[in-house]
Amino acid sequence: MRVLQVMECTIGGTRRHLRDLAFGLLARGVEVEVACAALRDPAMRRDMAAMAQRGIRVHEIPMVRAISPLKDAVHALRLLGVLLDRGFDVLHTHSSKAGALGRGVGLLASGAARVHTPHTYAASFGGGKGQGGEAPGPLGLILATERLLGRVTDRLIHVSQDERDEGQRLGVIRPERACVVPNGIDPSAFAHPQGGPGLREAHRIPAEAPLVGSVGLLNDAKGHDLLLDAVAALPRRDVHVLLVGHGELEAALRAQAERLGLAPRVHFAGWRDEIGSTHDALDVFVLPSRWEGLSYALLEALAAGLPVISTRVNGSREVLQPGAGEPEAGLLVPVGDVGALAAALQQLLDDRALAERLAAAGPRRVAARYTLEHMLDGTLAVYRQALGQESAR
């Protein structure tokens, strides 16, 4: 099987998804090529170099997020050149811009099965800005385009059931073509975090101080401003916050911490490719996002055995809620509700028995449903369905 992966939004979790998918499929005998941009995060070029070293042919196409007719036409022509006469069986596009260009060109120039992963819908943003701080564009036009492209898409892969449900409400794909393949991680990489004391020392965080934190891009989607407001609302004044990530809102978050009187207790660790030391240092992991598909950072924190709190965004609901014979794996609070977030933080910091119970449930939940092997199995099954080789399950 020959597969072309196409992505513009090579940043954060989508960058991670593309890398894991490319290497994982290659290890399973799939011939993989990648057409992607590297404008959002220059570190993407490290991934591209690693792919090339492993024998994955990489085509750098500097696609842009904003709607730009001239640039989009040029990049569509470059995608056309990649697709022509290369005999791909599957064209797998990711996120809105690559999804539009790739599926459009694929319809005209390739007999490959068209598979798309939205990685959240622009309609989820609620008027906010997406990754990289850029507005997605006119939502009406984007939704109309998604619905039109859905007619020529063989399978749409959603990374959570919640996201699939949203896609059905938006009417972007026929139900029988809508699939769910949850994001997955290698749990063993997070099972034994080390280095927490060193990280606390580096940021001068007292060893006895409660430390809550979050991992992710510092942008509107991730809601770090809500976490700072919640910590400011706590009656106790010894709680420290660790934010791991980079992004366009760092200066605004620093100013907010100053304004709230939290500056000595809010620590910015920057982006870290290895986050085991972060998990080791934290007492509670918080995902205060305004929207998600299914957060990799949440899965990693669960695999590391941390008690977690998340807003009720896509993915988090199904991961953390109790299921048949399963306990809850974390606390859920309404999106944007600072009071509820503060109350949940207070509850976990005060009730160690509850925190330990949630921490024990996390690794089991990830191992049962959210591993990289599950993700690769599911993706390959969707490819075979799109090619008519396997019936939908």
Identical fold for domains 2-184+371-386 and 187-369, yes or no, is yes
CA separation for the pair 327, 314 (Å, rounded): 19
Q: Name the more confident of 134 and 185.
A: 185
CA separation for the pair 253, 45 (Å, rounded): 28
CA 3 to mean position of chain CA atoms: 22
What's the token pair of residue 224? 């770090």
Please give the CATH number for the structural domain made up of 2-184+371-386: 3.40.50.2000
pLDDT at 266: 98
| Burial bucket for residue 230 (CB in 10 Å: 0-12, 13-18, 19+) | buried
What's the token pair of residue 196? 């927490």
Task: Indicate the domain borders of the chain.
Answer: 2-184+371-386, 187-369
- pTM, whole model, 2 decimals? 0.92
- From 300, 328, 49, 318, select the one nearest 188 (Cα to Cα): 300
pLDDT per residue over 84-94, tens digit each?
867 899 999 99
- CATH number 3.30.470.20 given to 187-369: no
pLDDT per residue over 313-362, tens digit each?
999 999 999 877 788 999 999 999 999 999 999 999 999 999 999 999 99
| Alpha helix ranges (H) inside the chain | 12-27, 44-53, 69-83, 96-109, 139-150, 161-170, 196-202, 224-233, 250-259, 276-281, 296-303, 316-320, 338-350, 352-369, 372-386
